[in-house]
């Protein structure tokens, strides 16, 4: 996080505080003017009731007792009412006032000027419904804004943390790949010099060395811009899915002799070309096969791998006779961090398989029944063999 970003984050509370203060002042002014209007309306309404009596006393200069009593009662009409003047209203000067015209027998009879106390208006406006509702709405508005800003800030922090983690993982991947090269060279030399090893074992060793080399190269390219997988551009050639699976199953038959691995090829084409490099195919399928191996029974353990063809997709099916998975767990099984039946599972295998296959427009499907086994189907979009040979 750069310094300018930190500085902007520190100023956010002051900005929201200033906005709240400004909004409160606006609401207070609105409430104040509302109280002035309310006081004027109350006075005008009350004077209108006693208009004839006030006008008669003013015109005929009679006994002012009733008139003074009426004017004194204006204080009870509104607490902000201060002094009043009937005889010479123009002499009474005040900042907040109202002039109420008088008529007598439909003839003008002057006016009454009523002054209001600014302090009373101010305090009354602070406890008026207008001010209370305005402040409440303002707090709700600001609360929503602050919450939105806070969530946005958390999102930025999360993105920055993920970026830092990706950089760290990228650096770690390159270091691991660099360190692998030493023992990889020794294994390569061993596979070339060993004369007592059988051809089958030597082939398996070469396959394993090739996979390790591929993993090392893949780790070294982490964090760099990935190569385009567009077959139509002629930049890459899709591998044969059946060939990759045959090689991979050779390794598993050697490393897990107690498991019966069966390979079934039910496609009419000579090759099943896909837009995913061999290393990723091996990684995805290895994760799935490893899951199946961990769920297998002690005796008569079997895994059947079948390649089929459906319209625009190649279907690779991996089926085991393991313990199975509960139906309620299946929808969440491909989520990151979700693991089932493993004491030390990280929940990354199926998640990585799903993300990898979906990246090329494919799909991963899981069906399972407890006590019977699990079936995983990978749908690979087809690519044309002619397109894959374009150079």
Concatenated DSSP letters for 196-225? SS-HHHHHHHHHHHHHHHHHHHHHHTTTSP
Instruction: Identify the pLDDT of residue 178.
Output: 57
What's the farthest any 2 CA atoms get from each other in the chain?
Answer: 140
Token duo for residue 217: 């190269």
* In the predicted structure, residue 92 carries a pLDDT above the cut 50: yes
Tens of pLDDT, residues 144-160? 777 887 888 888 888 88
**The two three-digit tokens of residue 226, written as one number:** 């990935």
Structure tokens at 214: 């591929």
Residues 6+ apart with CB under 8 A from 187: 205, 208, 209, 212
pLDDT computed for residue 232 by the predictor: 39
Who wins on pLDDT, 74 or 228? Answer: 74
pLDDT score at 133:
74
Q: Which of 88, 109, 112, 86 is nearest to 98 (CA)?
A: 112
Global pTM value: 0.50
**Mean pLDDT of all residues in 184-197:** 63
Model pLDDT, residue 301: 93
Give per-residue pLDDT as tens, 344-356: 555 677 888 899 9
Task: Please compute the mean of the pLDDT values over residues 236-253 and round it to a whole number.
Answer: 85
- CA angle, 211 then 213 then 214, to 5°: 65
Enclosing H/E stretch for 173: helix 129-193
What value does the mean pLDDT take over residues 53-78? 75
The two beta strands, 107-116 and 97-104, are antiparallel
* DSSP, residue by residue, 3-59: HHHHHHHHHHHHHHHHHHHHHHHHHHHHHHHHHHHHHHHHHHHHHHHTHHHHHHHHH
Mean pLDDT for the chain? 77
User: Could you tell me the two tokens for 141?
Assistant: 């508005």
Higher model confidence: residue 47 or residue 243? 243
Helix (H), strand (E) at residue 142: helix 129-193
Q: What is the pLDDT of residues 7-50, one digit of tens each?
A: 455 555 566 666 667 777 777 777 778 888 888 888 888 888 88
Compute the half-sphere exposure of residue 378: CA atoms within 13 Å on the CB side of its CA.
30
What is the predicted pLDDT for the residue at 231? 39
User: Pick the residue with more confidence: 16 or 277?
Assistant: 277
Element (H, E) at 170: helix 129-193
Q: How confident is the model at residue 303 (pLDDT cuts 50, 70, 90)?
A: very high
Contacts of 364 (CB under 8 A, 6+ apart): 334, 350, 353, 354, 357, 358, 376, 377, 378, 379
CA-CA distance, 144 to 365, in Å (whole number)?
42
Residue with tokens 């209007």: 37
Q: Are 37 and 29 in contact (CB under 8 A)?
A: no
Is the confidence at residue 220, as pLDDT, over 90? no
- Residue ranges of E strands in 117-234: none
Q: What share of the chain is helix, strand, coil (3-state, %, to 5)?
A: 55, 15, 25
Supply the pLDDT for residue 391: 39
Per-residue model confidence (pLDDT) at position 29: 78
How many Å apart are CA 346 and CA 337, to the nearest integer?
Answer: 6
Q: What is the pLDDT of residue 304?
A: 96
Query: What is the pLDDT at residue 76?
Result: 75
pLDDT of 59 above 80: no
Q: What is the mean pLDDT of residues 97-106?
A: 82
The DSSP bridge pattern shows strands 260-265 and 302-310 to be: parallel
């Amino acid at each position: 996080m750069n310094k300018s970003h930190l500085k902007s984050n520190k100023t956010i509370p002051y900005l929201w505080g200033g906005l709240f203060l400004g909004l409160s002042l606006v609401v207070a002014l609105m409430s104040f003017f509302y109280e002035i209007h309310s006081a004027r309306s109350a006075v005008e309404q009350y004077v209108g009731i006693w208009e004839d009596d006030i006008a008669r006393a003013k015109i005929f200069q009679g006994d002012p007792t009733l008139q003074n009593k009426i004017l004194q009662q204006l204080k009870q009409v509104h607490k902000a009412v201060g002094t009043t003047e009937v005889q010479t209203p123009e002499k009474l000067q005040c900042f907040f006032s109202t002039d109420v015209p008088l008529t007598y027998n439909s003839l003008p009879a002057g006016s009454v000027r009523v002054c209001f106390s600014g302090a009373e208006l101010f305090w009354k406006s602070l406890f008026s419904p207008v001010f209370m509702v305005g402040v409440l709405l303002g707090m709700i508005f600001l609360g929503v804004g602050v919450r939105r800003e806070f969530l946005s800030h958390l999102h930025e922090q999360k993105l920055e943390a993920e970026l830092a983690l990706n950089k760290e993982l990228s650096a770690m991947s390159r270091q691991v790949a660099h360190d692998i090269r030493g023992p990889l060279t020794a294994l390569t030399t061993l596979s070339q010099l060993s004369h007592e090893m059988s051809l089958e074992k030597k082939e398996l060793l070469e396959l394993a060395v090739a996979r390790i080399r591929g993993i090392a190269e893949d780790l070294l390219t982490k964090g760099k811009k990935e190569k385009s997988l567009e077959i139509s551009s002629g930049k890459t050639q899709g591998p044969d899915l059946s060939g990759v699976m045959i090689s991979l199953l050779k390794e598993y038959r050697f490393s897990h002799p107690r498991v019966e691995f069966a390979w079934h090829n039910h496609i009419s084409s000579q090759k099943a070309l896909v837009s995913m490099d061999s290393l990723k195919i091996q990684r995805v399928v290895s994760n799935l096969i490893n899951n199946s191996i961990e769920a297998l029974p002690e005796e008569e353990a079997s895994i059947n791998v079948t390649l089929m063809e459906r319209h625009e997709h190649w279907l690779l099916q991996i089926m085991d006779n393991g313990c199975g998975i509960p139906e309620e767990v299946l929808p969440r099984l491909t989520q990151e961090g979700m693991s089932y039946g493993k004491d030390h599972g990280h929940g990354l295998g199926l998640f990585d398989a799903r993300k990898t296959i979906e990246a090329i427009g494919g799909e991963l499907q899981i069906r399972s029944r407890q006590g019977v086994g699990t079936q995983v189907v990978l749908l690979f979009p087809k690519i044309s063999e002619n397109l894959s040979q374009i150079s």
